Amino acid sequence: MKRSVYLQPSAIFWDRSVPRAIDEADVPEWKGLPLAGSRLSFAALDVLTRASPVTKRRTVVLGDAFSGDWGRDALSAADILQELSQPRGRVAGLSLDRPRIMGIVNVTPDSFSDGGQFATTEAAIAQGLRLVEEGADILDIGGESTRPGSDAVPLDEELRRVIPVVEGLRAKTDAVISVDTRKSEVMRQAAAAGADILNDVSAFTYDPEALEVAAETGLPICIMHALGDPKTMNDNPKYDDVVLDVFDYLESRIQACVAAGIPKAKLIADPGIGFGKHLHHNVAVMAGLALYHGLGVPILLGASRKKMIGQLCNVDAAKDRVPGSLACAIAGAAAGVQIIRVHDVAETKQAIEVWRACQAGTEKGLD
């Protein structure tokens, strides 16, 4: 079901004042609301409504938003506004009061960026430990490439690639371990091996048993938007409005997860940069990142080294897209994204720490 109104926080700033409650009365000077309970606040809203041929957009300051007449959209707008401001709980023990870095460990021969580089168990474990040393809060272990045009990997092969790496890392680090898979049996065995998060690019739609297994594990899960199967998803993707269509899809999958017995507090949403999206779709989603806080769950951004960067900057080799990846990471942090999935952990950590200090105007109290 498509919503009639969507709210995207704008005029986002680092709030150095005492946070204000959404229902606080008699505020003499309105300074904004906290964005998902973070140090960022927002002072205005872009109000989006579906229309043909283009979505209608108007900007209102928060004071006008509270005093304005929303008509039949009042309840929907109030619900989204509450979600935009509500603090996010911990995920796998991690607080989300600052951007968390998810380091990518591809145990595959064919990933678009580093295929084959960490394809052995020993190399993947060493890479994971290296990323933790560089500052990764989460390690995302994947045994099946889902790049555009990729082929599915048989279950036995994916298990052979992934489970020994999860077991090896669990024995050597307390870092949060995520497993990037579409298959319920991989989810089940990964959870038993010590994984902390399940991350499914199909939003738990590829495997009919995936949602049930995810609920049984009790682990937090990440649902991602993708249009179709990796083999064909980028052939001819079409949207009415990509930013709003992605929101609707993720909202529907959140509802499906809750109905399957997974608490909303254990959900993470990823708008899926590059998955069933051409360049103009990807940059539109990047510009609309703050809107997805209206889902009421933490947001994960995975734009590291992706084709979008190469298209924008004429850079063919994925390994040469690190500067563009850092720009995406900072854009995500500025939009309040809670988890940033990257190949280049040390560089991303440095960029985000400098950005946070520059926003805060102090180097203190940012750990």
Assigned token pair, 16: 């150095």
Q: Which of 285, 211, 205 is nearest to 245 (CA)?
A: 285
What are the angstrom distances between the C-alpha of 212 and each of 7, 122, 183, 336? 32, 32, 12, 31
What would you report as the CA-atom Rg of the chain, rounded to the nearest whole angstrom?
Answer: 20
Contact 324, 279 (CB under 8 A): no
Residue 306 appears among annotated catalytic residues? yes
Residue 341 appears among annotated catalytic residues? yes
- The answer to whether the bond into 208 is cis (omega within 30° of 0) is no
Q: What is the number of alpha carbons within 13 Å of residue 96 lying toward its C-beta? A: 25
Q: Of these residues, 100, 147, 266, 341, which one is catalytic?
A: 341
Q: Of these residues, 161, 277, 306, 349, which one is catalytic?
A: 306
Element (H or E) spanning 131, and its range?
helix 121-134
Q: Where are the beta strands (DSSP E) in the chain?
A: 6-14, 33-34, 40-49, 56-61, 100-106, 138-142, 176-180, 197-200, 221-224, 267-270, 300-301, 339-342
Direct distance between the N- and C-terminal alpha carbons of the chain, in angstroms, rounded to an integer: 41
Q: Which residues are catalytic?
A: 306, 341
